[in-house]
Amino acid sequence: MNKKIVGVALIAMLSACSGDGASGDGDVTLRMLAWGNGPAELQGEREILDVFEEENPGIKVELSNVPWENYNERLTTMSAGRNQPDVFWMIDAAAMTNYANQGMLLELDEMIEEAGITEDEYLPGAWDIGTWDGEQYALPRDLISHHIAYNKDMFDAAGHPYPESDWTWDDFLEAAQATTIEENGRITQFGVAGMIWEEMIVQNGGASFSEDGSTVLIDSPESVEAIEFMRDLIHEYRVAPLATEAEGLGNMFLANRAAMSYGGPWHWVQYESEGEFEWDIVEVPAGKAGNKAQLLGLPIGIGSQTEHPEEAWKLLEFLTYGKGQSIQADIVGAYPAVLREADTFTQGQYVPDNVDVVQKTMEENTVLLSMFPDKPAASSLIQPVIDQIMDEERQLDANEGLAGVADRIREEFEMK
């Protein structure tokens, strides 16, 4: 039977019994699941939900949290035990495809059409992070990409100019060398820390997998070259820390031990309130593909087991399209998914001087990564190999290591 027909039938059936499960005062209580390490960490999210409740009398939202590292496992277990939340966050688009493939999500196309919501109202690529097998199972609450944060005081002390837009890997290396300090045979300040290999392969035109998940690309020349460059920053140029040098220091940029770091808006509050230095941001440096960055998004969906599909849709629409989009940038620093609210992000209370670089990246330079149900399992095989390539003692050859893991993935997951 067509999945859309099943979804419509499910909505009709559940709408008929939507009064079940209401609280004693006649309100409907929706259960919403997010990741976090406690209520304090989700205080901003609670404030957004309070606004929803004010504007939707009769609907209450109970917000629960699970730590990031346990999130997928807990959500899957809850669904298997028929204890699924009504509305929930998803780690990423790949997780969304896995949930949709398992029947954990309500299909949204009919509700989206009735609400008059269209793809062209969202940022490029935003719509796609909620799409699987031609149907919509989630909508994006927020989108963002990584950038480079830099310590202006360290650049001033080194007499080196601040990074500028359209800079390249050569410029990046030059800046990292200029801001690395060695004293008595020991590096006391690194030029860069917090590197992200997934970002570096994107900058060079590489990828782990093709967008549809049919082909392994982690051993492509572009991907291998990017991993080799990252390894050289650590071992040859000595501008980035070994794992043993970074151990126990947490965020080395925030600790004033690195002049540059990959980061995102979720770091800005700490930089501003805890960092004892002047800082700003710039787009990621360009490899062969340009100043490209991964499109990171927060898909939110409705659980297929919900007894309150109409109310759950009101909440989802509020968060991903309605007023929630208008207020989230100021409350939690989240970049709106809808185009009409893009400017609100630049007016947040913790934004750096060069905040416009984020908008430029989001509108011009993001890359949508692959999304397929087996991606989490297939990707988990790659990280240990990357670790061996970067390891101080092992220093596995990048060509050899990536070719080996690529062949293993092809065999285990029947990919090209």
| Segment 250-306, tens digit of pLDDT | 889 999 999 999 988 878 878 988 889 999 999 999 999 999 999 888 999 999 999
Residue pLDDT, tens place only, 358-406: 988 988 899 988 888 888 889 999 999 999 999 988 889 999 999 999 9
Which residue, among 276, 173, 228, has the nearest Cα to 386 in the 3D structure?
228
The structure tokens listed for 151 are 């310590």
Confidence of residue 4 (pLDDT cuts 50, 70, 90): very low
Average pLDDT value for residue range 141-146: 91
Model confidence, pTM: 0.80
Ordered domains of the chain (ranges, CATH): 3-144+295-348 (3.40.190.10), 147-293+368-413 (3.40.190.10)
Which residue, among 202, 224, 222, has the nearest Cα to 211 in the 3D structure?
202
**What's the pLDDT score for residue 402?**
97
Rounded Cα distance between 278 and 240, Å, is: 21
Residue pLDDT, tens place only, 47-84: 999 999 999 999 999 999 999 888 999 999 999 999 99
Rounded to a whole number of angstroms, the distance between the first and last alpha carbons of the chain is 30
In the predicted structure, residue 18 carries a pLDDT above the cut 80: no
In the predicted structure, residue 38 carries a pLDDT above the cut 80: no
**What's the pLDDT score for residue 26?**
65
Instruction: Give the residue, 124 or 396, on which the prediction is more confident.
Output: 396
In the predicted structure, residue 9 carries a pLDDT above the cut 60: no
Rounded Cα distance between 378 and 385, Å, is: 13
Task: Name residue, tokens 């490209």.
Answer: 292
